[in-house]
Amino acid sequence: MNKEQAKERIEELRKNVEYHAKKYYDEDKPEISDFEYDMMMLELRTLESQFPELITKDSLTQKVGGTVKEGFEKVEHEVPLQSLQDVFNFEEIESFEKRVKKQAEENGIENPRYVVETKIDGLSAALEYKNGKLVRGATRGNGLVGEDVTQNLKTIKTIPQELPEKIDITVRGEVFISKKDFEKMNQEREENEEELFANARNAAAGSLRQLDSKITKTRPLDIYIFNVQKIDGKEFNSHFEELEYLRKIGFNVNPVCIYCKTKEEIFEAIKKIGEDRENLTFGIDGAVVKVDDLNLRKIMGTTSKVPKWAIAYKYPPEQKVTILKDIVCQVGRTGVITPMAILEPVKVAGSTISKTTLHNEDFIKEKDLKIGDKVIIQKAGDVIPEIVEVVVSKRTGEEKNFEMPKACPVCGAEAVREEGEAAIRCTGIECPAKLYRNLVHFVSREAMNIDGLGENIIGILLEKKMISNIADIYDLKFEDFASLKKKGEKFAQNLIDSINLSKKNDLYRLITAFGIRHVGVKAAKTLAKTFGDIDKLSAATVENLSEVEEIGPIVANSIVEFFNQEQTKDLISRLKNAGVNTIRLKEENDDDRFAGKTFVLTGSLEKYSREEASNIIEKFGGKTSSSVSKKTSYVLAGDDAGSKLTKAQSLGVQIITEQEFEEMCK
């Protein structure tokens, strides 16, 4: 490769590396694996070493990735939080050991020692203590300037708020989420139809960099401390000595720390960590080799990006070939039907893999998967097994295509895939796989509002097989509830009263309670007002529904699909027999004074919450919107109204005060 070709390739690599570094460090949403990123960086570093005249200061080989997120205060690190030089083979480890040995001999230091530690896959942070008390915590950022995340770090239980010694010390550690907690988080997010975290590192980083510490508190963050950045009044000779001191004063220190005297012992330590990585409770992305002698570290120094006295060995992802024996489908609590690969059991990265998710129909088509294929699998982020690709050359012609089911494999209801979505869903409201979630929604405050019948009680009722259907709620007796608690008579009577009261609800609450996809409270009120009773709504066609304001074709299709299900018809019949109201209740002041009017609420109101004001507007036949346009009738502006008020003024939309709104409602 000549210089011109190298320059072109270096520029291309820098552009790609910058893009993916931003996704990884700043947005916590990586699009490629760590290994792919490492290989790009390795190629860039190799080319720059071959053509040093092409090296620039802004290359990521010369600086630490990461910026300060808007909303956080900047923190200048008194001691830089540097990155590490990555290596991918033992020859580079040997070269590192030779450089260390040479510098040690030149400075009269005999037999330098090393410490090999796990490279924890998380987000680096510095903790600063004054007089023994935690006063500030910050992310690494670009190594020189990070983000002040003190309040977020204080939510981590393993970080001591006060030390037993009144010292001034700054330590560095890695914030992470354990493998078990990460799997649990992603399982919950999948059940709630939320976007899954790509890996534990980004889950930890995103959690620590939340602007609201209340959100951080709900995330299972942990930390391992691995370095003393600065300490006043104490001197240490070795890194190993530092770590022992940190343990003594209460820090959660990196648990894997192997003392080595020779390069052979370094190799063995790296191999041992690699062999044991599957048994570790936390994810790692390598092993770090550090010079133990702190005086030798000072002599060796650092570059602008990395210390010369440490190096990080990166393990390659282990891949194995196995057979895709079958594809089966599972139904989640939200009704999403997920294909699952059944594999010929194979050991990967220390554990036996016999199945893995195939995500959705598109994933199967993209990978061109067929039942009977030989496939390459690996563990993503050392935690989640995944199919990488098919070994097409090994196909025999006996492999079988797979098609997603047209009906739910659990209840037999129609399975549909809506336009613009990757997921296929069960539409049955009585599907056992969805029952718990459907019940919780049905009784919720915004739906049938059955006070006292919360998630725990529903869980107990299902466990005891006292209910197997939504309508079963209305068959429960006083004795059934009383049996759930000692001296549960009052509890039981309150629940019976609440259930009976729910029978008198307006129709819109019942429509909301059904949990029809895309139909919330607002749309339910519109449907109740337009059709008047459940039978007319059940009989409505897509064309009928599409004529209703605010009901588009996607929502209309969803409604028709729901009411066409035999399960839905059965449920409505049982609810009617139980005495549940299925018609719209006309209010005494059935007043449509705001009919055809659209309100936008902005700023802080004194007498009403946003929800209360919206309910009043809807009660009088109006509707609310979140954005201002030429079609907006009124902008109700409270204190500290912002851009919506400005836009309303520019469009000439009528702006009203809270007092004027009250006058309109009299």
Catalytic residues: 119
Q: Tell which residue, 63, 99, 69, has the closest CA to residue 81.
A: 63
Kindly state the DSSP code that residue 419 receives in the 8-state scheme. T
Q: 231: which strand partners?
A: 169
At a CB cut-off of 8 Å and minimum separation 6, what does 194 contact?
none
At a CB cut-off of 8 Å and minimum separation 6, what does 89 contact?
none
Give the whole-angstrom CA distance, residue 155 versus residue 220.
10
* Dihedral (CA of 625, 626, 631, 632) sign: positive
Residue type, 453: L
Element (H, E) at 613: helix 610-619
Residue 47: which region, alpha, beta or left (left: phi > 0; alpha: psi -120 to 50)? alpha
Task: Quote the tokens at residue 403.
Answer: 């098609």
Task: Quote the tokens at residue 15.
Answer: 């552009």
Q: Strands 123-130 and 74-76: what pairing? A: unpaired
Q: 145: which strand partners?
A: 76
Residue 467: count of CB within 10 angstroms of its CB: 17
Half-sphere exposure of 559 (CA within 13 A, CB side): 28
Instruction: Tell me which residue has tokens 């609440």.
Output: 498
Task: Quote the tokens at residue 393.
Answer: 């050359």
- Phi, psi for residue 208 in degrees, rounded to 5: -70, -30
Give the whole-angstrom CA distance, residue 173 versus residue 92.
26
Query: Is the Cβ–Cβ distance between 6 and 55 less than 8 Å?
Result: no
Quick one: three-class SS letters along 81-127?
Answer: CCCCCEECCHHHHHHHHHHHHHHHHHCCCCCCCEEEEEEECCEEEEE
Give CA torsion, residues 287, 255, 382, 272, to 10 deg: 60
Strands, E, within 106-197: which ranges? Answer: 114-120, 123-130, 133-139, 145-147, 169-176
Quick one: three-class SS letters along 207-255?
Answer: HHCCCCHHHHHCCCCEEEEEEEEEECCCCCCEHHHHHHHHHHCCCCECC
Half-sphere exposure of 573 (CA within 13 A, CB side): 6
At a CB cut-off of 8 Å and minimum separation 6, what does 299 contact?
103, 107
